[in-house]
């Protein structure tokens, strides 16, 4: 996290973390929908549905009708991915697209590495 803070301003990290959490929540809804219906009483599924339904309604005008309902959250997540990968670096003035390198995922990967590096010995 310290390396990320030294590379990016805090407002960039906040925006990326929020957009990243939204994107992964939408992907989580698709993954949970593989195993259980949308109207399930399981608390994780209720959370995914309740937190992502407003976004799915917001993107409904630009969602093609041929996309199967269980895959619509993945389609919406794709917009968040594209924004994080292309628009954020452009707004920050990078000349190479994708330069932002997903700070949320980088921090999670670094934390996992730190957590697991002692298991190899």
pTM, full prediction: 0.81
Average pLDDT over residues 9-34: 91
pLDDT reported for residue 96: 57
pLDDT reported for residue 33: 93
Dihedral in degrees, nearest 10, Cα atoms 108, 110, 116, 118: -150
The tokens for 2 are: 């310290």
pLDDT-derived band at 34, boundaries 50, 70, 90: very high
Within 13 Å and on the Cβ side, how many CA atoms surround 102?
Answer: 13
pLDDT tens digits, one per residue of 49-101: 999 999 999 999 999 999 999 999 999 999 999 888 888 877 777 755 555 56
Average pLDDT in the chain: 86
pLDDT reported for residue 92: 74
pLDDT reported for residue 26: 96
* DSSP per-residue string spanning 49-93: HHHHHHHHHHHGGGS-TTS-GGGHHHHHHHHHHHIIIIIHHHHHT
pLDDT-derived band at 7, boundaries 50, 70, 90: confident
CA distance 97 to 74: 22
């Amino acid at each position: 996290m310290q390396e990320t803070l030294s590379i990016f301003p805090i407002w960039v990290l906040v925006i990326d973390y929020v957009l990243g959490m939204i994107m992964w929540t939408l992907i989580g809804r698709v993954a949970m929908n593989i195993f259980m219906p949308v109207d399930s009483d399981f608390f994780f599924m209720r959370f995914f549905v309740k937190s992502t339904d407003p976004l799915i309604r917001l993107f409904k005008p630009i969602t093609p009708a041929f996309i199967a309902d269980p895959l619509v959250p993945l389609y919406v997540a794709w917009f968040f991915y594209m924004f994080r990968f292309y628009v954020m670096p452009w707004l920050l003035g990078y000349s190479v697209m994708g330069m932002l390198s997903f700070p949320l995922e980088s921090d999670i990967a670094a934390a996992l590495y730190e957590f697991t590096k002692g298991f190899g010995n």
